[in-house]
Chain A
Amino acid sequence: MKALSQKRRHPLAAVALLLLGLMLTGGLYAVATTANQAKAATTYSANDVQEGGKLFIANCATCHGMGASGSPDGPSLVGVGAAAVDFQVATGRMPMQAQGPQALQKPRQFNDEQTHELAAYVASLGAGPAIPEAKYTDGGGDAANGGVLFRVNCAMCHNAAAAGGALTRGKFAPALAGVSNQHIYEAMVTGPQNMPVFNDANITPSDKRDIITFLDTIEATGSPGGAALGSLGPVSEGLFIWIAGLGVVIAFTVWLTSRTS
């Protein structure tokens, strides 16, 4: 220790410190960014991968290219992970139907087994976020903490009450009512389309669980004050008072004065 404290004024000490700091942050970052890939909950058989590959060539390769290596019509899927496929296919976003600002949700076209096979195939191409473990999607976390995290990380796009919101040029963040817990988790780790990725360093798996719990809770609680008018805030309230409120009031004024005029 003494030697170290004596040398701390050495001209190279600052450089050494800087290097140490850089290495530390770099190393931490590397650990953090790979944190997502660390847990592979589901295992896929060789058969799953093979069947998935067939489905992929038939349904997805036109856009995503052979071997999912990408084409002008769709990005490469190498390394997007099983979670991305499960989210995109099971919510009916993929296969994409029409080019537009955003791939829209539509009735899903593949059953659970086919989705599982597609996920297996894409996962086999490169490591990526896996289907989340059930313990993170059980909705048993801390709703209040989830609420805080939701307001900080998600509300700017999805609205504080998760009622959805507009993004630029026709894109939008959808309302989150009715989305399954697993898909909420997958959306966070894969960042579909215009949504950013929230990796495990950004929001830890247990915090993700809290967010899911929060979303479940507000959906289950409903609106304590009566009909929520779409949870769209002052705009729907204003429309309501002008149309319904004043409408009723005018009807009464007409009635009250109808005798003489």
Chain B
Amino acid sequence: MSTAAETPYKPATATGRITDFVDQRVGGSGLLREFGRKVFPDHWSFMFGEVALYSFVILLLSGTFLTFFFDPSMAESVYNGSYVPLKGVDMSVAMNSTLNISFDIRGGLFMRQVHHWSALLFTASIAVHMLRVFFTGAFRKPRELNWVVGGVLLILSLADGFTGYSLPDDLLSGNGLRIIQGVISSIPVIGTYISFFLFGGEFPGTAIIGRLYVLHILLVPAMILLMIAIHLFMVVVHKHTQYPGPGRNDRNVVGYPLGPVYAAKAGGFFFIIFGVIAAIAALFTINPIWNYGPYDPSPISAGTQPDWYIGWVDGALRLMPGWLLGIPLEWNIPFPWGVNTLSLNVLIPALVPAGIVFTVLFIYPWIERWVTKDDREHHVLDRPRNAPTRTAIGMAGFTFYCVLWAAASSDLIATHFNVSLNDVIYWLRALLFLGPIVAFTVTKRIALALQRKDREIALHGRETGRIVRLPHGEYQEVHAQVDDYKRFKLVGYESPEPSAGVPNRNGIVTKQEKRRALLSRFFFEDRVAPATPAELHAAHGHGHEEIEASDKTKEVAR
């Protein structure tokens, strides 16, 4: 029956035979061919998504270890472990078991520190990843939805961080929970009910840690995993973006295929991240709950702050005045059934800044799309300077965030720079409103200036700092022309012009269209057009050649 031509492929080695057996049944090689050939462009700024991914994997691993020993019960117990300054102190079982992980379980403290440090790195790398995506315009068509998935991931990771931070039931996290409880209670009408449902009665109750535990180890991570899967699937479907360069356009991707080079690099990178986190965890302490002691609603420590990624909300609360222009922000409103309190001094700072930031974040791709009326696919990124208004908006938002963030450490700023805490608060209040405006203006000017410089270099070359005297006595600075590859980077970008309102079918420019045109002016009024081929030709046409030629001979002589 079998002829020589039809002889099935027969692997020579045992490994080969096993692999072939598996492949024939699950068809992995097809998958590998598909994914292995995905091309991934190389740029350091493209790696923060990976950093986030790897820190998440490390979080899962170290977190699993911690679940073996952590007990999320709020039952009362007496500490009897080996940390002397807490011996005999009453505390919840949750705190007790966390102390035991720290002091009485081999490697426990290290694992706790690995877990917490990687949580900080996870959130930090997500933030940087998001900034990279924003400032390079990677959120444009077709990646708007992936941007939204990313935003959901951001919120989920903040949520997972906060729930985890609250689990040990130490003084610091208890204070944090108390603040959250205050914020929840300030929501009109339903706030008190939500608080009672969440805490199973009065704060702190005996239910909250167990509930947060379920969220922290089950629900939120599962959602993050799901979202990561969608996120990465979309990255593969869309293919990765690339920076502008010769031979790169919206229809191709220039880089390494995923396998084997890129896969090897990525695998190695995982261990690098693991190594960095392990080194940090081994050398630097984090969340030393034994300093803070068990939670008890009466004490509070100076310098109480949440982890960095929640800091900005804490900062907003610190900046908010209780009175504004002589009017108290806490209103007691008499109702037929009694007096109800509306605490705007808590409600506004807790919800408004976060509301603004996340709303703008989620809808920004659509804002830009609407303003530019640009429906093309973009796979080539913008250098931030080539989208001055977007970059400026990003910096304004970043400044707003950073002022709130700084406000969360107002007390430490005061003690460490020997200034008055009150003054720090006053300054930061002013900066919260002025900072973004200043940042916007300055960033936009810088971006435009850089564009002008690029144009100048493309047309006239780089200043070399060498002055030559021409035969008729004139002095000129020698300009070195940049090579074509470099020049491509300097001229290969789009600079849209503001588009005026377009009349609709009935010949009317609608109000909405007028608004769009106004925004378009705001975005693109100030622009530096890239040097056109004609300009380039003209610029290089007259007389520069001799200087360049003499330039070259001098180069050798030097």
Cβ distance B286 to chain A, nearest Cβ, rounded Å: 5
Q: Are A233 and B303 in contact (CB under 8 A)?
A: yes
Contact of B414 among A172, A242, A248 (CB under 8 A): A172
Find out whether the CB atom of B121 lies under 8 angstroms from the CB atom of A249.
yes
Residues of B near A197 (CB, < 8 A) are: none
Q: Are A148 and B288 in contact (CB under 8 A)?
A: no
Q: A157 to B301: give the CA distance in the assembly, Å.
A: 7
Query: Roughly how many angstroms separate A227 CA and B283 CA in the complex, as a whole number?
Result: 6
Contact residues, A17-76 vs B (CB, 8 A):
none
B329 CB–A CB distance under 8 Å: no
> Interface with B: A120-128, A162-170, A199-207, which one?
A162-170
**Are the CB atoms of A224 and B305 closer together than 8 Å?**
no
Residue A227 contacts which of B88, B285, B298 (CB distance < 8 angstroms)?
Answer: B285
Which residues in chain A, 85-107, are within 8 Å of chain B measured between CB atoms?
A: 101
Residues in chain B near residue A229, CB distance under 8 A: 284-285
With most chain B CB atoms within 10 A of its CB, the pick from A166, A173, A229 is A166
Complex interface bits, A194-230 against B, C-beta within 8 A gives 1, otherwise 0: 0000000000000000000010011001011111110
Q: A143-B84, A147-B293, A161-B288 are in contact. Are A152 and B121 (CB under 8 A)?
A: no
User: Number of residues in A with C-beta < 8 Å to the partner?
Assistant: 61
Q: Which one of B44, B88, B277, B296 has the highest number of Cβ atoms from chain A below 10 Å of its Cβ?
A: B44
Beyond A143-B84, A156-B299, is A224–B290 a contact (Cβ under 8 Å)? yes
Instruction: Using CB atoms, name the residue of chain A closest to B406.
Output: A235
Contact call B124/A257, Cβ cutoff below 8 A: no
On whether the beta carbons of A225 and B421 are closer than 8 Å, the reply is: no
Is A155 an interface position by the 8 A CB rule?
yes
Knowing A151-B299, A235-B409 are in contact, say whether A168-B422 is a contact too (CB < 8 A): yes
Q: Which of B267-298 contact A (CB under 8 A)?
A: 268-269, 272-273, 276-277, 280-288, 290-293, 296, 298
Residues of chain B within 8 A (CB-CB) of A155 are 171, 299-302
Q: A246 in the interface, Cβ–Cβ < 8 Å? A: yes
B392 at the interface (CB under 8 A from A): no
**B117 & A173 in contact (Cβ 8 Å cutoff):** no
Residue on B nearest A163 in the bound complex, by CB: B303
- Judged by a CB distance under 8 angstroms, whether B207 is at the interface is no
B144 within 8 A of A: no
A228-B288, A257-B44 given; A246·B415 CB < 8 A: no
CA A228 to CA B286, docked complex, whole Å:
8
- B244 → A minimal CB distance (Å): 12
One of B10-18, B23-31, B306-314 at the interface: B306-314
Q: Which residue of A lies closest to B314 (CB)?
A: A234
Contact A168 B421 (CB under 8 A): yes
Q: How far is the CB of A102 from chain B (nearest CB, A)?
A: 11
Are the C-beta atoms of A252 and B283 separated by less than 8 Å?
no
Does chain B have a CB within 8 A of A13?
no
The complex places the Cα of A163 from the Cα of B88 at a distance, in Å, of 24
Interface membership of B125, Cβ < 8 A: yes
**B419-439 interface code vs A (CB 8 A; 1 in, 0 out):** 111100000000000000000
Chain B residues lying within 8 Å of A261, measured Cβ to Cβ, are 42-44
Decide if A169 touches B284 in the complex (CB within 8 Å).
Answer: no
Contact A147 B125 (CB under 8 A): no
Flag whether A231 is at the interface (Cβ < 8 A): yes
Residue of A nearest to B421 (CB): A166
Residues of B within 8 A of A214 (CB): 85
B171, A160: Cβ atoms closer than 8 Å: yes
Residues of A within 8 A of B411 (CB): 165-166
Shortest Cβ gap from B102 to chain A (Å): 7
B163 within 8 A of A: no
Q: Is the CB of A160 within 8 A of B284?
A: no
On whether the beta carbons of B308 and A257 are closer than 8 Å, the reply is no
Question: With an 8 A cutoff between CB atoms, is A184 at the interface?
Answer: no
Q: Which of A163, A164, A226 contacts B283 (CB 8 A)?
A: A226
**A217 vs B300: C-alpha distance when bound (angstroms):** 21
In the bound complex, residues from chain B placing their C-beta under 8 Å from that of A259 are 42
B358 contacts A by Cβ under 8 Å: no
Contact B86 A256 (CB under 8 A): no
Is B185 in contact with chain A by the CB < 8 A criterion?
no
CB closest residue in chain A, given B305: A234
Are B285 and A232 in contact, with the CB atoms below 8 A?
Answer: no
**Inter-subunit contact A218/B85 (CB<8 Å):** yes
State in angstroms the CA–CA spacing of A227 and B255 once bound together.
42
Q: Are A159 and B303 in touch, CB under 8 angstroms? A: yes
The answer to whether B302 and A156 touch across the interface, beta carbons within 8 angstroms, is yes
Residues B86 and A249 in contact, CB atoms below 8 Å apart: no
Given contacts A148-B89, A165-B302, contact A240 B284 (CB under 8 A): yes
List chain B residues, Cβ under 8 A from A179.
Answer: none
Complex interface: chain B residues within 8 A of A172 (CB): 414-415
B288 x A223 contact (CB < 8 A): yes
CA distance A101 to B365 in the complex (A): 51
Q: Contacts A147-B293, A245-B276, A256-B269 hold; do A224 and B285 have CB atoms under 8 A apart?
A: yes
Bound Cα distance from A172 to B413, whole angstroms: 12
Q: With contacts A144-B87, A172-B415, A246-B121 known, is A166 near B302, CB below 8 A?
A: yes
CB-CB < 8 A to B87: which residues of A?
143-144
Q: Are A226 and B42 interface neighbours, CB within 8 A?
A: no
Residue-wise, chain B 147-190 has the 8 Å CB interface mask toward A (1 for contact) of: 00000000000000000000000011000000000000000000
Query: Is A140 interfacial (CB-CB < 8 Å)?
Result: no
Which of A168, A232, A254 is close to B412, meaning CB atoms less than 8 Å apart?
Answer: A232
User: What sequence of 0s and 1s flags, for each residue 95-133 of chain B, a beta carbon within 8 Å of any chain A beta carbon?
Assistant: 000000011000001000100010011001100100000
A133 on interface, CB distance cutoff 8 Å = no
* CB 8 Å contact bits of B30-43 with A (1 = contact, 0 = none): 00000000000011
B203 interface residue (CB < 8 Å to A): no
Can you identify 23 A-B contacts, CB atoms within 8 angstroms?
A144-B84, A147-B86, A155-B171, A161-B292, A166-B421, A172-B415, A221-B85, A224-B102, A225-B288, A226-B281, A229-B284, A231-B291, A233-B172, A233-B301, A233-B305, A234-B287, A235-B308, A238-B307, A244-B280, A245-B121, A245-B280, A254-B44, A257-B43
| 3 closest A-B pairs by CB | A165-B302, A238-B308, A225-B285
Add 16 more A-B contacts to A166-B410, A246-B124, A249-B273 (CB < 8 A).
A143-B87, A147-B86, A148-B293, A160-B291, A161-B301, A169-B420, A169-B422, A225-B109, A227-B285, A228-B285, A233-B304, A235-B303, A238-B311, A241-B120, A250-B44, A257-B46
